[in-house]
Amino acid sequence: MSVDKAELCGSLLTWLQTFHVPSPCTSPQDLSSGLAVAYVLNQIDPSWFNEAWLQGISDDPGSNWRLKVSNLKTILQSLVEYSQDVLGHPILEQHLPDVSLIGEFSDPEELGKLLQLVLGCAISCEKKQEHIQRIMTLEESVQHVVMEAIQELMTKDTSDSLSSETYGNFDSQSRRYYFLSEEADEGDELRQRCLDLERQLVLLSDEKQSLAQENALLRERVGRSESEGATGLTTKKLLLLQSQLEQLQEENFRLESGREDERLHCAELEREVTELQQRNQALTSLAQEAQALKDEMDELRQSSERAGQLEATLSSCRRRLGELRELRRQVRQLEERNAGHAERTRQLEDELRRAGSLRTQLEAQRRQVQELQGQRQEEAMKAEKWLFECRNLEEKYESVTKEKERLLAERDSLREANEELRCAQMQPRGLTQADPSLDATSPAVENLAAEILPAELRETLLRLQLENKRLCQQEAADRERQEELQRHLEEANRARHGLETQHRLNQQQLSELRAQVEDLQKALQEQGGKTEDSTLLKRKLEEHLQKLHEADLELQRKREYIEELEPPADSSTARRIEELQHSLQKKDADLRAMEERYRRYVDKARTVIQTLEPKQRLPGGGPPELHALRTQLQERDVHIRHLEMDFEKSRSQREQEEKLLISAWYNMGMALQQRAGEERAPAHAQSFLAQQRLATNARRGPLGRLASLNMRPTDKH
């Protein structure tokens, strides 16, 4: 009976899925490219279907059916060669599939033929036991279809038959079916073989008769040859024929004994066939009973599953009933709690009405407190501003006092010089009154002036005048630049003092807000049972926290602005400050050297005047030249005094700048040290208020030191 190829294709697809190939093999379309079949053949016999052969199969033909047909032709050709050369039984033409239908339309019938050939190779190769075990793991229906496919393939293949050990590892029921079909086939083959042996016996008997006749003829010839005295060649031929005759007789005897054995074996096989037919009938009845028992088992299994479902439903109903009881109990408890909450709500409403009047008074007092705080902040700002202005006025007063003292000293020195010059002028007038013949424009007077002022002194005086002009210009430019820097510095200090005042006020307000937050938190903990009051306190707490956050942001902005006003602590600024200090020291040294030179020149001029005073009494002396020299000396003294005053001013300004730089560097160092301490300090070891108190004390420390540094110069003056 022929197996339905479409059904066979589905069962063999299930069998192919046990090989676990990389390509999908769940539908006929997956097998139409031939790639999955090639991987299966490679696992069945890797020595024949090797990697080189597998590389000849196109990996991804896609929708190109011609490439698919080419792959399938290669696979079919290899299957035919493997079955003929390795397995030893060629494939009949009726078993060969049409690969064009498989590649183009994925025909399941033709694909079933191809998979049937693959199955035949699997159960006939060296690993047939492994493949049979794999077939045994499939479902029973799939096993029946695979068994029928194998039986159809082997019964139609007359060149070879499967041995009984091929089916040695099937289950008992399948093995009985295979044995019955195999023994029936063997009985037909034995009958055919018996007929062949009988024909051979007839042929051998005929040959025996012909050989007997030939033997008789040969004997007659031997007799005649003996009588006639034949040669030795005839004798040898006769002996050869006798040996052949003996061999043929032995072969005849052996064939007759074999024929008897075959007859006995044939009778035994016929008896076994009848027994097997009886057993087959018994097994058929047993199979029917087993099928009926299996159906009954399925019904019982379904009934047991239904009983399990009913038990699960019953248990869920019981669980829901228990949950319902628990819910009823909870509902009663909730009703009782609801009644208590309603009573509590009435009490809280009464308390809320009583607290309404207190809340309005509290809001009015809070507004008054806020107004007073605002006024206090304004007054504090004004006080800080007037304090800063007072400090500036004190510094200006001190500088004006110093300037006044210096001017008084300069006035006294000028008075003394004026008196000396008056005395010096009175002496030439006395000489001219005593001797009116002397003329101021005479050559003697000119020679005397030339002697009084040597050439070196004149050159030195001219050079000093030029150098004084240059220094005056440079000093004026430096003075303007210092005034501009001083003005910027005062503006920056004023802004910094204002920001520090605002910062201090913000810190105070922040500490007050935090204290209020702590008080509200404590009140919230104390009023934990009152839900309505707790919501009000929470709302107030959120408002205060919002204000606290805004104050923190404002404080952060003020702090950033103060840091921007402070000089940056980088190497370029330090280098620039060092250069300025070096240039100031150099200018200071130059001014001191210039002062010493002027003093030496003045001393020399005074000594010259003192040496020339006795000569002025001589007749013909020149009072106008002496007067001009004295006026020049007076002008130079005045210029020297101005230079000294400018030097003192520049030195005081330089000292002030150095103090400001030192204070700025000190503040910046303290700020950096405070920032490093805040980063190193463990945040979790202190509370929020403790950290803020530490930060406030740290900020007050640099401000106090700065005030002390600013007051030290005032104390010295």
Is 716 a domain residue?
no
pLDDT-derived band at 94, boundaries 50, 70, 90: confident
The chain-wide mean pLDDT, for the chain, equals: 73
* Cβ neighbours around 219 below 10 Å, total: 13
Percentage of residues in the chain having pLDDT higher than 70 = 71
Which of 379-388, 467-476, 529-538 bottoms out in mean pLDDT, i.e. has the lowest?
529-538
Higher pLDDT, 335 or 236: 335
Domain final residue, candidates 318, 334, 364? 364
Residue 593 lies in a domain: yes
Please state which of the ranges 182-191, 255-264, 343-352 shows the lowest mean pLDDT. Answer: 182-191
Give the largest CA-CA distance in the chain.
222
Whether 313 and 439 share a structural domain: no
Provide φ and ψ at 623, rounded to 5°. Answer: -65, -35
pLDDT, position 54: 85
Residues 502 and 454 both lie in one domain: yes
Which of 124-128, 380-384, 679-683 shows the highest mean pLDDT? Answer: 124-128
Distances (CA, A) of 429 to 160, 170, 424, 426: 170, 162, 9, 5
What is the CA 414 to chain-centroid distance, rounded? Answer: 84
Per-residue model confidence (pLDDT) at position 567: 47
Q: What is the pLDDT of residues 45-90, one digit of tens each?
A: 888 888 888 888 877 777 778 888 888 898 898 888 888 888 877 8
How many CB atoms sit inside 10 A of residue 516's CB?
15
CA distance 4 to 369: 103
> So what's the pLDDT on residue 436?
47
pLDDT at 57: 84
Residue predicted with more confidence, 47 or 210:
47
Q: What percent of the chain has pLDDT over 90?
A: 0
Decide: pTM greater than 0.85.
no
Q: What is the pLDDT of residue 240?
A: 80
Q: What is the pLDDT of residue 574?
A: 59
User: Are 671 and 649 within one domain?
Assistant: yes
Say what the pLDDT of residue 618 is: 45
Res 561 pLDDT > 50 = yes
Q: What is the pLDDT of residue 224?
A: 67
27-36, 142-151, 354-363, 514-523: lowest mean pLDDT where? 514-523
Are 202 and 58 found together in one domain? no
Closest by CA to 399, choosing from 633, 222, 655, is 655
| Of 161, 109, 131, 90, the residue nearest 2 (C-alpha) | 109
Q: Using one digit for the tens of pLDDT, what is the confidence trace for 624-659?
A: 666 676 777 777 778 777 777 877 887 788 788 778
| pLDDT higher than 70, residue 376 | yes
CA 421 to each of CA 254, 426, 608, 621, 670: distance values in angstroms, whole numbers, following the listed order: 181, 9, 14, 17, 60
Number of other CB atoms surrounding residue 97 within 10 Å: 21
Is residue 565 within 8 A of residue 496, CB to CB? The reply is yes
Q: How many domains are contained in the chain?
A: 3
Q: Would residue 122 count as lying in a domain?
A: yes
Higher pLDDT, residue 35 or 575: 35
- Domain boundary (151, 170, 189) is at 170
Q: Determine, yes or no, domain membership for 695.
A: no
140 assigned to some structural domain: yes
pLDDT tens digits, one per residue of 451-506: 444 566 667 777 777 877 888 788 788 778 777 877 777 777 777 777 777 777 77
Q: Is 513 part of a structural domain of the chain?
A: yes
Residue 336, domain member (yes or no):
yes
Interhelix angle for 232-434 vs 172-228, to 10°? Answer: 140
pLDDT at 681: 56
Give the tens place of pLDDT for each residue, 602-619: 676 667 666 665 544 444
Q: Which of 126, 151, 170 is the last residue of a domain?
A: 170
- Average pLDDT, integer, range 535-551: 66
Residues 593 and 455 in one domain: yes
Is residue 104 located within the same domain as residue 225? no
pLDDT band at 688 (very low <50, low <70, confident <90, very high): low
Q: Are residues 319 and 448 in the same domain?
A: no
Among the residue ranges 209-213, 370-374, 583-587, the one predicted with the least confidence is 583-587
- Burial of residue 125 (CB within 10 Å: 0-12, 13-18, 19+) is middle
Query: Which element (helix H / strand E) includes 97?
Result: none
Q: Which pLDDT does position 346 carry in this prediction?
A: 84
Same domain, 154 and 214: no
**Where residue 206 falls among pLDDT bands split at 50, 70, 90?**
confident
> Higher-confidence residue: 310 or 212?
310
Residue 528, φ and ψ in degrees, nearest 5: -65, -30
The domain that holds 264 is classified in CATH as: 1.10.287
Report residue 564's pLDDT band, with 50, 70 and 90 as the boundaries.
Answer: low
478 and 536, same structural domain? yes
Rounded to whole angstroms, what are the CA distances from 188 to 76, 198, 417, 542?
32, 15, 166, 105
Averaged pLDDT, 431-442: 45
122-136, 650-664, 673-687, range with greatest mean pLDDT: 122-136
pLDDT for residue 184: 46
Query: For residue 173, what pLDDT band results from cuts at 50, 70 and 90?
Result: very low
Structural domain boundaries enclosing 575? 435-680
pLDDT at 717: 41
Are residues 355 and 479 located together in one domain of the fold? no
Q: Are residues 11 and 121 in the same domain?
A: yes
The pLDDT confidence band at residue 222, using thresholds 50, 70 and 90, is low
567 domain-assigned: yes
Using CA atoms, how far residue 622 sits from 125, 592, 619, 634, 636, in Å, is 152, 36, 9, 19, 22
Q: Residue 548: pLDDT band by 50, 70, 90 thresholds?
A: low
The winner for highest mean pLDDT among 343-347, 595-599, 694-698, 700-704 is 343-347
Region 435-449 average pLDDT:
43
User: Do 202 and 274 have their domain in common?
Assistant: yes
Task: Say which DSSP state 85 is in.
Answer: I
